[in-house]
Amino acid sequence: MHTRTLGRSGLRVSALCLGTNTFGWTADEAESHRILDAATDAGITFIDTADVYSRWAPGHVGGESEMVIGRWLAGRDRSRIVLATKVRAPMGADPAANDEGLSRIHIVRACEDSLRRLHTDHIDLYQAHWDDDLTPLDETLEAFTALIQAGKVRYIGVSNTASWRLLKARWISSVNHLAPYISLQPHYSLVHRVEYEREMMAACTDQGIGVIPYSPLAVGFLTGKYTRDNRTPDTARGNDSKLVQRLLSSDQAFAVLDETRTIAEARGVPVAHVALAWTMTRPNITAPIVGARTVAQLQEVVGAVDLALTADEIARLTTVSEGM
């Protein structure tokens, strides 16, 4: 597995990142551990989770994914894993208890809780899951910096933010000598381009921000499992996904899928390899985040890092997906 530097930092990560929001939800603990074993055997050493995974599922309270990873991590060589998690989401039922947001009190408390669940003494990449308009950015960045100074966090990043917020945060860090965000985790794929490309791509280029996009396979749409004659999601996640429902009714989305499938068949590779390989050619992309609920699903995508698309193939995919 190739490694890449995350933005202008010195942090080296595998060219694919393992997303774990299925752990403790659609993948039970035993299967999740097998997925982790298969990922590390394939050279994926960059693992992304969040404290809120999988709080949305009935009977879940959040923290399940972190706990599954923590029990797997126990007894293994921690130095070989780049571990990323996120903070922001409500982790209780009472907002007055400061159990959500990006305030100093919540960040510090959430970090301690994540460290406990993950059975580790540090988080390699701690990310703001999404914006908190009620908390000043300088307070958030001061809290993250304090955690770095305490040795509990190594680097910080952000997800689901606007370009102006990212640039403002970088400016605050610069003038106040605070730790800067080194990475962005946006929603980005062949069939979801405009949100990132409109402004964020230029901002990340200017600031040297490493990008680790989530849903690069569009919740399974870009694996090729759907056709114009088969538009029925086969998983609870697909049924619940507004993205999947939108794509299944989009003629352009199927045109993108047709072109991706044509290239995949000509190359003799899975459709997912082509979709991921295109993503990895885009500016600032360091490591797309790939999730799996089975080992077989993971094994279907790991070979994407070895697929080098031609200039013509990249242009065809870029043209057919323009405006999505």
Radius of gyration of the chain (CA): 19
pLDDT score recorded for residue 240: 57
Domains and CATH numbers, the chain: 3-218+282-297 (3.20.20.100)
Q: What is the pLDDT of residues 265-317, one digit of tens each?
A: 999 999 999 999 999 999 999 999 999 999 999 999 999 999 999 999 999 99
Q: Which two tokens stand for residue 232?
A: 């029925």
- Set 53, 155, 188, 226: catalytic member: 53
- C-alpha–C-alpha distance, residues 169 and 301, integer Å: 34
Q: What is the pLDDT of residues 63-106, one digit of tens each?
A: 999 999 999 999 899 999 999 999 999 998 786 789 999 999 99
The owner of tokens 């429902």 is 245
Q: What is the pLDDT of residues 229-274, one digit of tens each?
A: 877 766 656 555 788 889 999 999 999 999 999 999 999 999 999 9
Cβ atoms of residues 213 and 285 within 8 Å:
yes
- C-alpha–C-alpha distance, residues 203 and 194, integer Å: 14
Q: Which positions ≥6 away from 259 have C-beta within 8 Å?
A: 316, 317, 320
Q: Which two tokens stand for residue 45?
A: 């050493």
Q: Residue 53 catalytic? A: yes
Cβ atoms of residues 323 and 197 within 8 Å:
no
